[in-house]
Structure 1
Amino acid sequence: MYVNRGSITAIGIIFPILAVLAMIMRVYGLRYYSRKFELDDILVIPAVMLNIAAGAALVIGAQMEIIGGHSYPVISETEQERLGKFEYAFWIGHILAIGFIKLTILFLFRRIFRGQTYRTAFDYANWTIIFFVTLWTLVFLFFEIFACGATPAASWLSLQSLRHACVDTFGMQTGGAVFSWILDLTILIEPLLMIRTLNMSTKRKIQTSLVFLCSIFAVTAGLLRMIPWIQIHIQDISHVNIRVLGTTLPTADQEGIVSIILFWTYVEIGIGFLVACLPRSAWIFDKISLTPIIYKLRSLASTTSISQWERGPDPKRGKERNYSQASWISTRQPKESPSRHTDDEIELVAARST
């Protein structure tokens, strides 16, 4: 099985490292390219802390053999309690992490697209999504904490106590994952609809759209987190085996089933955080120049042409060479002066505040 202690440990290390690097680029961009410290710059702080904490928890849980293995044919009472306590804490943390990540992205959108003098259609749509994200976070956080009423220990004592002393946690988790994925879709679509209204060239619109299209990775990760919950919810757990994301496991293998869900949940958190930091870190793309590469390729083409000329003329090769040179000329564009950039371009692509 691809989800094991090694893979869980790996994502628990990789995503926090990437999160720290993303924050460094974000802070650098804030320091050198922005004059304002907005709400999304505040919301990203608990988001990165929860991201790192979740990664550390997965690494510790895998090394302590709480997750990443299998509990078949039977799970002991001690293993059941350790796994249940780990789940209880992780599910609470994942609600907060995903909520802060979504709000960070949405308030970043407000920085870019909001109306300056009057309410626009974007303002109403954006505030509506913010409302639903906040509602989702508070409601499911409450459900996670009080799923078993005043006795949270019932959630980790045994599977029977979880099913009889608590609410339908499988249904609750499924509903939360589905609602979260729908919100991911709206967050993906919203900026793409607004980019066409900005005062920038078609080329810059395409570049900016590609930045925001990276959200599709977060949408995909959310889908892979949602599918296991739906599969578990619709399958009869009284059967001997259960199928989760193409992997068939014994229904009694609680650790194996939970590990798959934890794996994809943290993948969603890790990718979502990187997506949240990407637009504010897009200044780095302005530092990347293709000019040296183009000059290198042209020099290589010139060297090849000289060697061919020394071997003798070839009508076909001459035509190809002329066509190649014409292509280089047609693709070369004059370097755009920074003074021609609009405020929206600077803010959106280089993540600078106007």
Structure 2
Amino acid sequence: MTYVNRASVMGIGVTFIVTSLVAVALRFAMRVRNKMGLGVDDWLSLAAMILVLAACSVFVAGSATATFGTHSPDIGMAIYTYENPKQELQKKLEYAFYALMVPGMAFLKLSVLFFYRRIFKISRIFTVCFWILTVTTVLWGISFFIAWLARCGDHPDNGYISLETLTTKCINSFYVLVTQSVFDVAVDIGILVLPIPFILQLETATRQKFAVLAVMLVGSLSMGCGIARMVIVAWILGTPLLTEAKLAGLPSSDFMGIVSLMVFWGMLELGVGMIAICLPTLRPLLKGANVQYMMYSLRSLISLNGGAGREGSRSDGSFRKESEDSEQGRAIEKHFEYSVTSTTSIAS
């Protein structure tokens, strides 16, 4: 696949460095400007940004050193025992990239979950689901982080020398990457569908439900990259070594090209995810809307329909009272129309 080359690697890496810094800086600025207070989701997004920036730096270094976005020599089966300084450097950069990518993705997922929790405080069922997904995400991040770091035990150099030493002297890191990508998408799907049942139960106009869904589900923008990465990783690493002429459009002996392809899609998932988790706060800024009012509207609408005996209704009684005013209701409806339009334009 020729789209993974040194120029595209450098361009993607630099782009995500800039967009990640801008997205998180604006997110914090909007929270402070509107006196909303910084929540757990905001601090998690900051932690994610630090890891994303580090991963981007590794990605850019790969382009600068001609290790990411390049190809192995066409030597056929001899690639299995082939040793080369650039191939060794690429494996070291790949090792560093995945060591940053896994916890980075975990922080991105946790930021989305705690953003949901900031909005939804109306159901014990939601709270149970929230904690299940939160614990699953933490365990997912820790387990695969440790598995990747410890893949070659006390001799990490075995993972860099050649394909032979990697496959004979280390645990099957191929299966680690495949399993990680599958669990990554599975957790993403769980996070994506978490708010849907609670939103659909709201006793309000259909278009308002879709407006809330549009704001909540912007994380699906990065899930597409995750699915693409899962398919590519499973296709490449699920095929017995050097048994096919081509894999994902590359010669199966193009070891450096294959590594570049998998890392490229991992970088896309990280970078797009970093932007996606900030979109609910950034989009109103771009259109001149007030983020505090958007959050107020979401919580007011949900609290109004949540029932008097629920936790959110008790804690947000003032919101419910103000939402009952017809003029305020019309303003909320108008605002949600804006949210649907603006968020749909992002997805398209």
**Residue-by-residue CA offset, 1:289-346 (whole Å, 9 max, x unaligned):** 9xxxxxxxxxxxxxxxxxxxxxxxxxxxxxxxxxxxxxxxxxxxxxx9558667xx89
Partner residue in 1 for 2:87: 80
1:89 aligns with 2:96: yes
Deviations 1:7-55 (A, max 9, x none): 1111111122221221132112211224322211111111111112212
Which whole-Å CA distance do the structure 1 matches of 2:264 and 2:194 have between them? Answer: 28
Where do 1:80-119 residues align within 5 Å? 80-115=87-122
Tell me what 1:302 maps to.
none
CA distance in 2, matches of 1:338, 1:203: 17
Taking structure 2 as the reference length, what is the TM-score of the superposition? 0.78
Q: Counterparts of 1:190-339 in structure 2 under 5 Å?
A: 190-198=194-202, 201-239=205-243, 241-244=245-248, 247=249, 249-284=250-285, 287=288
Letter in 1 for 2:34: Y
Amino acid at match of 2:104: A
3-state SS, counterpart of residue 209 of structure 1: helix
Q: Secondary structure at the match of 2:195?
A: helix
Cα deviation code 1:61-118 (max 9, x no counterpart) = 1011011011122554212211111111111000111011001111111111124xxx
**Counterpart position of 1:305:** none
User: Following the alignment from structure 1 to structure 2, what is the Cα–Cα distance between the partners of residues 238 and 252?
Assistant: 6
Alignment of 1:174-193 (within 5 A): 174-193=178-197
Cα distance in 2 between the residues matched to 1:167 and 1:178: 19
Please tell me whether Structure 1 or Structure 2 has the larger radius of gyration of its CA atoms. Answer: 1
Distance 1:27 1:73 in 2: 50
**Structure 2: distance between partners of 1:37 and 1:341:** 26
| Residue 142 of structure 2: aligned partner | 138
In structure 1, runs of 5+ residues without a counterpart are 290-335, 350-354
Structure 2: state its 5+ residue gaps. Answer: 76-81, 291-325, 340-348
Q: 1:150 and 2:154 equivalent?
A: yes
Q: Which moved more, 1:15-24 or 1:205-214?
A: 205-214
Letter aligned with residue 66 of structure 2: E
Does the residue aligned with 1:157 lie in a helix, a strand or coil? coil
Looking at structure 2, the residues matched to 55 and 194 of structure 1 have their Cα atoms a distance apart, in angstroms, of 36
For the Cα contact (< 8 Å) 1:235–1:242, is it kept in 2? no
Q: Distance in 2 between matches of 1:46 and 1:21?
A: 15
User: 1:341/1:286 Cα in 2 relative to 1: closer, same or farther (>3 Å)?
Assistant: farther
Matched residues, percent identical? 28
Q: What is the root-mean-square deviation of aligned Cα atoms in Å? A: 2.4
SS at match of 1:256: helix
CA contact (8 A) 1:155 1:166 kept: yes
TM-score (norm 1): 0.77
Q: Tell me, in whole angstroms, the C-alpha distance in 1 between the residues paired with 2:220 and 2:36.
A: 30
Q: Which runs of 4+ in 1 moved over 6 A?
A: none
Aligned length: 294
Which has the higher mean CA deviation after the structures are superposed, 192-201 or 58-67?
A: 192-201
Mapped partners of 1:134, 1:65: distance in 2: 35
Give the 3-state SS of the residue equivalent to 2:281 in structure 1.
helix
Could you tell me how far apart the structure 2 residues matched to 1:223 and 1:252 are?
25
- Asked if 1:62 is matched to 2:66, the reply is no
- In the alignment, the residues of structure 1 paired with residue 107 and residue 217 of structure 2 have an alpha-carbon distance, to the nearest angstrom, of 20
Aligned residues of 1:73 and 1:252 also touching (Cα < 8 A): yes
CA distance in 1, matches of 2:118, 2:68: 41
Question: Does the Cα contact within 8 Å between 1:184 and 1:218 map onto a contact in 2?
Answer: no
CA distance in 2, matches of 1:110, 1:16: 28
